[in-house]
Amino acid sequence: MMSKVTVLNHPLIDHKMSQVRDKHTNTKAFRETVSEIGALITYEITRDFKTTPKTIETPMAVMTAHELEKPVVIVPILRAGLGMVDGIHNIIPNAKIGHIGLYRDEETLEPKAYYQKFPKSITNSVVLVVDPMLATGGSASYAIDILKKQGVLDIRYVGLVGCPEGIQRLQKDHPDVSIYLAALDEKLDENGYIVPGLGDCGDRLFGTK
Active site residue 64: no
| Among 14, 22, 145, 203, the one annotated catalytic | 203
Examine the residue annotation and report whether 156 is marked as an active-site residue of this protein: no
**Distance from C-alpha of 175 to C-alpha of 95, rounded to nearest angstrom:** 25
The one catalytic residue among 22, 51, 104, 145: 104
203 is catalytic: yes
Q: Where are the alpha helices (DSSP H) in 70-200?
A: 82-91, 138-149, 164-173
**Residues 140, 72 contacting (CB under 8 angstroms):** no
Number of other CB atoms surrounding residue 19 within 10 Å: 17
CB 38 within 8 A of CB 86: yes
Catalytic residue among 14, 22, 145, 200: 200
Residue of 52, 58, 64, 108 marked active site: 108
Amino acid at 132: P
Distance CA 46, CA 104 (A): 31
Q: What is the C-alpha to C-alpha distance for residues 204 and 209, in angstroms, rounded to an integer?
A: 7
**Do the beta carbons of residue 88 and residue 116 sit within 8 Å?**
no
User: Catalytic residue at 200?
Assistant: yes
CA–CA separation, 24 vs 111, rounded Å? 31
What interhelical angle do 138-149 and 164-173 show, nearest 10?
A: 20
> Which residues are known catalytic residues?
104, 108, 200, 203
